[in-house]
Structure 1
Amino acid sequence: MMAAHLRHRPLDEADLEVRADELSRTGPTIHTRLVTRVAGSVEPSPRVEVKRDGDGWKVDVEVPGAVAVPRPGLTVGTIERVAAPTARQLDASIPTRVAVSTDPEMTPLGSGPVKLSGRPGREYTPLLVTPSDGRHLLGSHAWPWNLTGLVTTSDGKAGSGVLIGDRLMLTAHHMRPSATIARGSWWMTFTPNFDSGNAPFGSSNVSDLRHYDSESDTQYIVGHDFMLCRLFEPMGQHLGFIGASTFDDDWRGMNVWSNVGYPIDVGGGQRPAVQTGQSMEDDYEDDSGQYIETEASLNHGNSGGPFFSWFTDGHVRLCSVVSGETSFNGDVDNVLAGGDDMINLISWGRANWPA
């Protein structure tokens, strides 16, 4: 890919440090918004009790006689791939006055990755967590670190996703709950900035799914392993969302990418893990999709999580989502999915699924 086709490039470490004060700002945390769907034909009568809790407050909401249930999804469909890219880079949306940070609050993982048991006398470690593991626990609620969230499905899958539009979440295609879709009733839930049972910005079920028609439900081309999800709740309207960019060959080896996700070996997939200063070592074309190689530490639960960076025009853009692991010229590494087809899918969603 030719760099001349892309107007904006990622900021390297030195540039980001120089512009940190310009791009960051203090501000109030985005307000908490909790939405719960309950079953039944009788209108519920919630009771709210507010109590002092240490240096904060506890808000207890009780809905007598109600049972909380996931809101089932509505449609699952495919779209045709277009011959030419409709755009190469898409902009982000930053809410006014809220806190924005180029450097997230994070703490060490602590006890380290979980050990896995196997055959007697052998120890196993989680797949493709590198010796130079750069992951930390994310402690930031500032934009854009709060835009990635936990994704759970009616198939029992758990992964990661990110807000990419007013009502849009992007994740991996292989997170599709195909078994329950086939049975006629399915759901997916997205909870941004989820941490150990806490949902600081609420959650939303997914109403609609779209991916490319060249993909099947069980066989995924890695370069197209992304899926667009429409949310019932327009969470991006108050949280904002990140932009997107095709990955350029000239960006290989640049330590500019951050990832947030929910790997199984960090808090059992219930805590957000962040790593910054990561690089892409190689990329391969697959029509208008891309396989992108990285040695960043990833694990089950990271699937669908974004790799993103600040760009020269002040926007934050992802270049890919986590797909899996693969072999590049005999070297086994983690692999990401991106490219023009990903940008086209997001563009389609922003045009056809507005808030």
Structure 2
Amino acid sequence: MDDCKARPVDIDRLEDIFRAREAAKERPIAIERHFQVLADREPQVRTRLVRVDRGDGQSHWDVVVEVDGVRAGGRALPPPLRGEASRIPRHRLDEAAQLERLQAHIPDHLAFSATPADWVRSVRRIRDPRVEPRIATTLFGSDDRRAFRDTAYPWSTVGLVETNRGSGSGVMIGPRHLLTVSHVIDWSAPAGFAADWVRFTPSYFDGTAPFGEAYGSHIYWYVQEDGDGFISGNEGDYDYAVVVLDRRLGETTGWMGARGYDDDWDSLDAWSHMGYPADLNSGQRPTWQGGFRVDGSDAAAQAVLHKADVFPGQSGGPVFGFWAGDVGPRAVAVQSWQNSSSNGASGSAAMRDLVARARTEFS
């Protein structure tokens, strides 16, 4: 079978083909945490470490940073992003030419597991919308989302996206490239910039950041969601953006690959999604659902329909699958919208081409 038409692996065969493994090379990593301050002169910074006893026999440390010289009550914001709109491609680029170029990457220092292994309990913080028939439901049948705290690859690649508009989800799609949803981006940027600040924390869980965090510095997009609270028209086909981060965070977390969608895959129980739903754990813990079907087409840009369970906060999380012979999974879309009859993700070949451009211009 042509590699371009190869079928993604059904979820029930996934672990037979992509076997879990431990890290190939154990080594400590360096992480970065950021916060901004407002000061009239260069502040003085002191740091110290405090040992924390949690009774589990592990070495927990509290890293304390003291900043002297901060303006009292001052608020400082992260830097905004530069960028310019990408022209919507008239012709989709050759899929074969992109397959190897947009391959996933697994760092040697991370273990691998095709499905999350460290499950945790969820606490429902927002009532189930299905109990009120006049509220559009986004959950179909039983709620199959499961919260986890696994930091093995590829769960290391997905995380919490924070902006002036609130929070959503996203995935590392290159060495310093974040794929997320357009409607979580604050497009009302200061003069001279394309968008306001974006912060990404991979594997975020209950406030923890095992791989640190990074901020956006540049952004690529086709369509800016207009902020009216509705995903309509072209927004449903192009509700995604690629953010170039201020450091090569993917060398620590790894990254997913990307590819277009083929409508021959509509009948396959091959797809997974991860995100941070606000109704479970107030968006503080990631959830995963796998083995669902999607309804797409060969169109270069499209809304990929599905009935996986989603809630606000999961927007921007990847819809992804695994293909035999690949290193790791590839994203075909990101979660975008929901209504009472279907849920929709935006993506396919045009999304893949936007990822390719960002990775070419910012390596």
TM-score by length of 1: 0.85
1:199 aligns with 2:197: no
Partner of 2:355: 346
SS in 2 for 1:103: coil
Structure 2 CA distance for partners of 1:352 and 1:32, relative to 1, 3 Å? same
| Residues 83-136 of structure 1: per-residue CA shift (max 9 Å, x gap) | 33334332111112421111212436445462179xxx9687773112221111
SS in 2 for 1:179: coil
Q: Which amino acid aligns with 1:189?
A: R
Partner of 1:18: 16
Structure 2 CA distance for partners of 1:296 and 1:347, relative to 1, 3 Å? same
Q: Percent identity?
A: 27
Partner of 1:319: 332
Structure 2 CA distance for partners of 1:32 and 1:198, relative to 1, 3 Å? farther
RMSD (Å), alpha carbons: 2.9
Partner of 2:186: 177
SS in 2 for 1:178: coil
1:272-283 equivalences in 2 (<5 Å): 272-280=286-294, 282-283=295-296
Q: Which amino acid aligns with 2:63?
A: D
Partner Cα distance (1:86, 1:69) in 2: 42
Q: 2:342 aligns with which of 319, 333, 338?
A: 333
1:1-355 equivalences in 2 (<5 Å): 4=2, 6=4, 8-21=6-19, 24-26=21-23, 28=26, 31=29, 33-39=31-37, 40=39, 41-42=41-42, 44-53=44-53, 54=55, 55-56=57-58, 57-65=60-68, 69-88=76-95, 89=99, 90-107=102-119, 109-112=121-124, 114-115=126-127, 127-155=137-165, 157-181=166-190, 186-212=196-222, 217-218=226-227, 220-280=234-294, 282-284=295-297, 288-314=300-326, 315-325=328-338, 332-354=341-363
Structure 2 CA distance for partners of 1:216 and 1:160, relative to 1, 3 Å? closer
Partner Cα distance (1:30, 1:175) in 2: 33
What's the offset of the Cα at 1:172? 0.9
Structure 2 CA distance for partners of 1:131 and 1:109, relative to 1, 3 Å? farther
State the 4+ residue runs in structure 1 displaced beyond 6 angstroms: 123-126, 182-185
SS in 2 for 1:46: strand
Structure 2 CA distance for partners of 1:217 and 1:52, relative to 1, 3 Å? closer
SS in 2 for 1:301: coil
Partner Cα distance (1:312, 1:285) in 2: 21
SS in 1 for 2:183: helix
Q: Which amino acid aligns with 2:288?
A: V
What's the offset of the Cα at 1:169? 0.3
Task: Give 5+ residue unaligned stretches, structure 2.
Answer: none
| Residues 259-288 of structure 1: per-residue CA shift (max 9 Å, x gap) | 1101110111121111122221x22566x2
| Residues 310-329 of structure 1: per-residue CA shift (max 9 Å, x gap) | 21113311111001025xxx
Partner Cα distance (1:110, 1:352) in 2: 41
What's the offset of the Cα at 1:178? 2.4
Alpha carbons 2:214, 2:247 under 8 Å: kept: yes
SS in 1 for 2:237: helix
What's the offset of the Cα at 1:304? 0.7
Q: Which amino acid aligns with 2:66?
A: V
Range that drifts further, 246-255 or 84-93: 84-93
Alpha carbons 2:8, 2:270 under 8 Å: kept: yes
What's the offset of the Cα at 1:81? 2.4
What's the offset of the Cα at 1:17? 3.1
Structure 2 CA distance for partners of 1:239 and 1:17, relative to 1, 3 Å? closer
| Residues 166-189 of structure 1: per-residue CA shift (max 9 Å, x gap) | 111011111220235579782111
Alpha carbons 1:151, 1:191 under 8 Å: kept: yes
Task: Give 5+ residue unaligned stretches, structure 1.
Answer: none
Partner Cα distance (2:3, 2:112) in 1: 29
Q: Which amino acid aligns with 1:152?
A: E
SS in 1 for 2:272: strand
Partner Cα distance (2:290, 2:69) in 1: 43
SS in 2 for 1:191: strand
| Residues 63-90 of structure 1: per-residue CA shift (max 9 Å, x gap) | 2326694421231420112333334332
Q: Which amino acid aligns with 2:337?
A: G
Alpha carbons 2:301, 2:351 under 8 Å: kept: yes
SS in 2 for 1:342: helix
Q: Which amino acid aligns with 1:74?
A: L
Partner Cα distance (1:190, 1:256) in 2: 27
Q: Greater strand share, 1 or 2?
A: 1
| Residues 285-318 of structure 1: per-residue CA shift (max 9 Å, x gap) | 66x2021111100010111100112211133111
